[in-house]
Structure 1
Amino acid sequence: MQVSLIVLAAGLGSRMNSDLPKVLHNLAAVPLLHHALAAGQALSPARTVVVTGYGAEQVAKAAHDFDPDIVTALQDPPQGTAHAVAVTEPLLSDATGAALVLYGDTPFVRPETLEAMLAARSHHDIVFLGFEAADPKGYGRFIVEGTDLRAIVEEKQATDAQRQIRLCNSGVIAAEVQTLLRLAKSVPLRENVSEYYVTDIIDLARSEGLTVGYVTCPEAETLGINTRAQLAAAEAAFQTRKRAEMMEEGVTLISPETTFFARDTYIGRDAVVGPAVIFGPGVTVETGAEIKGFCHLEGCHISRGATVGPFARLRPGAELAEDVHVGNFVEIKNAVLDEGVKVGHLTYLGDAHVGEFTNIGAGTVTCNYDGVMKHRTTIGKNAFIGSDTMLVAPVTVGDNALTASGSVITEDVPEGALALARAKQVNKPGLAVRLMDKLRAIKAAKKGS
């Protein structure tokens, strides 16, 4: 069965008090929108349409960053959820199969729940997703008879008895795609709010003899983000769940409450993660690696047996092979470190390739940027880079070569060679004492004036 996704992401999110569109605020190091898209993409949809509005260009870019094949439909001006669904009609006019309506600010709906909604279409033409709310205030209430959904009543229109109902509307819908589009375009305007509500398709569907049903999920899945406080609560919920998943899968977290993951973080079993480690997007850690405390990682791959940190930063493009050691206050960016490389401390390696079993001394810097362009440094295997070596790229250091401490390397170093690139030391006897005496006299004279 083909599935089309319609993801509503047009809202301003005024309660966020932000110039950034609401769906672009980050949760687990990626935009909220990406969470909703990921849930839908797990169903292998034939087509995905994101409805944009406020900040349309920014939202479209974020959608395309997730999947270049996503198409967008502009809702301008915003006139409610039914109108948002209806504006996708030109992009879905030839679509067949089912459609799912998701929300860019509702990040936790699981693919399994969406699959259950699609399965429920074997008994109902249209299926809504509901949940039992601990506090139903503010939500639309489901009016049901058995498995049939008779109506969704907004709280303002609800009777006292209806307000006691805890079965509430999440807004997520599954239906045959052309039926959904036709009904959405037929929804009447609610004069009191000047909007078209997608929940009003229930009456239209029933008037045509169509059946409307519902499935339920835990309330935690339906958490919508409207405020900074809700965003913080969602982050806490995500991290709590992700930490539990990691430990269940065999990862040791020394201090789980201080470890923060991105949505796509992958860590193999028997890896060890120290306290206060932050994982940005795109991090893969293989089995048996160790990330010591106070490290920040993003866009990198760490192979089995490697150790990182403490206080290390791995930036996008960092590739660490097996048994690599990256120590404290080391930064790696767009660099490949082959098996057994050791970078103990106080070093920056950017735009570089370091051969196997090479040792990088403290204070080494690959000088990769000339103010306009980046340049690459290549270091061979079994080389030894002395402490405080500046490698001015583009430059190559051969296999088994050595650089003397304090060298500024501006030319290629042949295989097996020793490179010394520092000025000859000159000692001036007694000059230090005379110079310091002179400086102290000057300072004393200034105090007395």
Structure 2
Amino acid sequence: MKQYDVIVIGSGMSGMTVANKCASKGLKVAVTDELPYGGTCALRGCDPKKIIIGATEVRDFAQRLVGKGINTVPQVEWKDIMAFKQEFVDAMPEKIEKGYKHNDIDTYHGAARFIGSDAVEIASEVLKGSKIVIATGARPRQLKFDGGHLALTSTDFLNLQELPNSLIFIGGGYIAFEFAHIAKRCGAEVTIIHRGPQPLENFDKDIVHHLSEATRKLGVRLMLETNVTGIKQDAKGYTVIGETNGSETEFTAEAVFNSAGRVPHIDDLNLKKASVNYNKKGIEVNKYLQSTSNPSIYAAGDAADTDGLPLTPVAVYEGNIIASNILKGKNKKPEYPPMPSVVFTLPPMASVGLTEVEAEKAGLNIKVNSKAVPGWFNAKRLNVQEYAYKTIIDTDKSTLVGAHLIGPGVEETINFFSLAMYKEVPVRDLKKMIYAYPTMGSDITSML
């Protein structure tokens, strides 16, 4: 049995943050992961996805300017862009492990299971830790209907050596929309099936409507209020069976993907053995990100039930909080700043703060500015049809409490709004600012 000051389960961004910070202060640290080091974002999520999107951005931009100075629309070479993506993915695990070893962190490769309140087993090796950090992230939600196991995952999509001619995504979240936009622009026929009346349910409904319309215009089939009841496989591909308004409908494609959301990846940790309480949102933690039932155990990121959104920067933030509390005693609790979220479709959709519905439920006195603005210069110069905004202002404080955007560059513009909300900059001061022009940020004044 080996003894450590800190054992970190999971080598994604939150786990990496805790391990390196604790080791830099002289603690004896071990880290383990059943998958290659790097976590979902770097290897199976945000980063490889964004690389692939880069190629479709070029095609989309050219297509919009055909006849306006551009005469040829490039095709995306799937194998080439996947090879380019793989350069980044392949380099990451070794780079991370070298960093751990440079910091004298012991590295393990295997699934950890608790065998006591302060001990885990990895393969046949037992490690004991004064503190143990659970940073195992999330996994795809299991599809609990006949043939649910036949659906591929987002990881499978990002590793496709050839793009199928037709694809179905079950679930209408950001994974479905982002991958549907990629696949359609690369020439595939795409269907999204969502059981509710509105996809992307955590975003503002009016801005989501704009994205839904843009998605349909792209040629993606968007089926709402359709409950999937089964998947069948035959020699030609797959048949997805759905029910819409009481009527059964069948959808066929060469590949089917589970995009029905993600859940904390904690089922295999044997948490009861460590007396760790958990629920469907993750490990139950107190205000210091400690387990509510075992104070020697901490949890962060998608594995923890916190007030943070399931975003990589939030996981890093929580990792820093845990490292501080391990090193200095439990005296720091997360005070989450505004957390911007982006759906990297084309056009992208971005959001920060309260939606209009949430602001009303909170009892705030609000002013809502909402408009579709395809006639603004920044939309016209890019020949973009989908450009819209909704800003929500607390009239008592004259500050922003929410911003929701769709259109070119909004993944960057949203950061301006996040900073303004974080520092509670009065709206009148935002209007007084002089912005570089013509930039996407220069439209902010007109959105307030």
Fold match, TM over 0.5?
Answer: no
Task: Give TM-score scaled by structure 1 length.
Answer: 0.24
State the structure with more CA Rg: 1
* TM-score where L is the length of structure 2: 0.24
Larger relative contact order (Cα-Cα within 8 Å, sequence gap ≥ 6): 2
